[in-house]
Amino acid sequence: MPKGDSKKSARTVGQKLGSMAAAARSAMGRYPQDVADSLRQRDLANFPPGDSVEARAHTDGARTATLPEVPLAETWRNLPDTAGRINGVCWLGHCSVLLKLGSHTVLTDPVFSPRIGVRIGPLTVGPKRLAAEIDVRSLPPVDLLLVSHAHFDHLDVPTLKALASKSTRVLTAAGTARLIPRGYGEVAALKWEQQVSIDGIAIAAMRPAHWGARTAWDRHRGFNSYVIDGAASSAERQRVLFAGDTAMTDTFAALAAEGLPQIDLGIFGIGAYQPWVDAHATPEQVVDMAERARVDALLPVHHSTFRLSDEPMDEPMVRLSEAVRAAADRGAKLRVVPPRLGHVMELLTQPDRD
């Protein structure tokens, strides 16, 4: 092997070891308190010493956010059913997003439990939800659930049990179908580069830069991003990229290949990067990936809901705003869909519907 390659390999190993050590320190700084709070069923947010007043206010604001007075299901029912179009978008915290594609309702990574993690008898041991809670009964009927991978903050069994319906189909990553509770009309697992069509909506799985193990003993589980094509037969169709969890990757640049329609909505995680940058992209990296994938509008998710990392809770959105402004200065036209919890955006460019 050439010397240059050897040095590059050595640096890569060193960087990985450094990342692992930082991740271990981060976990030990948060998880013992999460466990103690879980056992005592404490509802207080655990602020690390370095959190600013702004970050604490951001967390308090997320927890006490005012949800619309009109039930979400009622607002959803009044949205248009234009074939092939994104007729409604609603962020429900973390990576849970409601999409109305044509007349169909799609829900990504539904997680609505007050706490996520391992179940020990009647207790759930893990981080508490800091954003306002979502009542599953307020949601419209869901036609399709997309589950990106098996991590506890993306595949929440209690939530999936509450949503189970014979009229709902589930698409999930390879090796995770058995984790989905019974009660759904169909559960199918997609491997990378596989594609299915459900009621005229095409869904293709892609490989993000992440991993899929739920525990230390199930590293065989897959992890997906999804491209959702509103109507494969419609010239006016719109496309959605649900990235799931990913670090910086070139994968999505292939979506900008000549002849392919643009990505009208990109759903990207922007938080939990410190010190997990090998698994979760920074806001600046998300803007870069979205630009190269030819994304028109970006919905930032994976923030302000659970404390999973060391950066202040308000930092991801602040850095995203700065990165988008910097991109605009370079001539980029990326738009950001404001992630207002529980508020419906119609056709991305219309005012919020409450």
Residue 120 banded pLDDT, cuts 50, 70, 90: confident
Question: Whole-angstrom Cα distance, residue 265 to residue 87?
Answer: 12
Encode pLDDT of 96-113 as tens digits: 999 999 999 999 999 999
How many domains are contained in the chain? 1
**CA angle, residues 150, 211, 188, in degrees to nearest 5:** 45
pLDDT number for residue 17: 55
* Inside any domain, residue 354: no
- The dihedrals phi and psi of 123, each to the nearest 5 degrees, come to -100, 145
Q: What is the pTM of this model?
A: 0.86
* Inside any domain, residue 125: yes
* Average pLDDT estimate for 139-167: 98
* Inside any domain, residue 63: yes
* Inside any domain, residue 83: yes
Encode pLDDT of 289-327 as tens digits: 999 999 999 999 999 999 999 999 999 999 999 999 999
Q: What is the CATH number of the domain that holds 309?
A: 3.60.15.10
Of 27-31, 211-215, 219-223, the least confident: 27-31
Question: Whole-angstrom Cα distance, residue 275 to residue 242?
Answer: 23
Question: Whole-angstrom Cα distance, residue 283 to residue 334?
Answer: 13
More confident residue, 51 or 231: 231
3-state secondary structure of 122: coil
Domain that holds residue 286: 5-349
Number of H helices, E strands in the chain: 6, 17
pLDDT number for residue 346: 75
Encode pLDDT of 275-288 as tens digits: 999 999 999 999 99
